[in-house]
Structure 1
């Protein structure tokens, strides 16, 4: 093996930059947590115009000793694309970008609950167990750090379960942008949203298609206190046992939670559900499709990072098209179609 000393000095320094960029990457996450906890996006949003740095620290009641540090944080986050810096009478002022607008609580597309959930120490500290995870057969980092799988932990810890459900609901709100003009539900009379949680996605579909009968299937304790409407019904159950009969079955960000073996079983139940409905139905999957040859580098990086996350947290995985196809064929489906949906998610239609 060649020694590092055989490399050019420039290459070694480039390697150091890459190493440090990832080493300090933890601070990126903590800066997002800091933003949300201090409510800075709401402060700037409610100000109604660019807010000067002096106005911001006054609103936050930052002690003089920390003003310089806060300014460093704001400059860094602006460099990362979370703020734009303007000059107002020789004073720097900040406005929100598309990314930081997603952290404004109370807005229609707020992802602050995702930040609060994923960066909660109960969740994030589990990644210190990656070395042990490597050698522990089927155990996840969650098994190792908390003594039980994620779903079992959520069942036993109501406060974290609430945090988790709020995070998933916030992500589902983003579906409003993707699904409001989506033609995939046209012509359907009934659909089951499997793992639909509190029904955010189902409600979006119901509003767009008021004649479509929607069912949300989730764990009994998730849906037990939820109320439906004329065309929305909540059903407690287990997708590994059976899925209610319908024209279509929807999985939004669900199948990546499970191994290939588990997904085959779920899809077999789907095939039975849509076949029993009396006409040829379909399965609709909203999930990641890894495609290094077509995606931009940053999108591929996100997908691969999510793949690592899913594998270590719940023994799940993000899949390439050939992996999805193998699942569909083994579950007895005949054809499929993949369409881009959001920045990183795809829409997959599967036909029996």
Structure 2
């Protein structure tokens, strides 16, 4: 946006300082003048003693000295105000330089303003925090875009290969080809839907309503019970009412991803998945635990990254696309909540989601 040129902030502050100094000097001289007038008569007084000046004599003597003093104060106000304004605005210059560097694409620069805490220091620290978050967000988005491109390229490459084989081998069974294409296409659709859901959660474009996590947990457990029984797992939900405010659809998807993740990444037969809800003074809590392989803290810390899996990249019917916990993290953050992953000492994973506590409803 084009703006007409104007006075700099430094010049404005200088003029303000000079005006304050001049006004203070003028008030001081006015007070002195009024004080002197009380003791000086209007006319000269003829006395046998020393000469007593009148007000005209006082004015001729006082006015030139006052004018000289005011001129000095004017120069002092301009010079001192210019230096003082420059010193005061030096931190703002560093913030401006950092902003220009960030606008040119450099997000690694930090202001790191020294000195005690004041308004400029708070501004610089807030700007540094914003740059750090932007840098991390951009890096995450770039990594996510690269992973998504790789994951989407795989089903497309498989589809191209199957079509080339079918074109070169006219005697091949088309039924088998169609079935394989259907499976590959289903995986691509699942991945695309997961990417869209992740994008929706990041934008926070959803309607908030009163939600009970305990009811959502019961619905999800009932829905995924056949899958758990097919794998020989025991699954259950317990706990108290956990009211919060958010999107019922997104929170249901979050819970579904957690429970599905606990079913898929389990020990097989005789494995267990627990879903527990509760509240504390500040949050509604959802906990999903599952038995499974031993997981190290370093591996657990990477599970919320897109396309990361705790086990080998199996491509079974229920293996998922590697976005389950990434979607859970985004949904929790979109609801101003937190996600904590902890390896269980006996093997498996404990996932805790804390969301802002909502009002209790009948």
Q: Same fold (TM over 0.5)?
A: no
Higher helix share: 2
What TM-score does the superposition give when structure 2 sets the normalisation length? 0.28
Which structure is higher in RCO with an 8 Å CA cutoff and minimum separation 6?
Answer: 2
TM-score (norm 1): 0.29
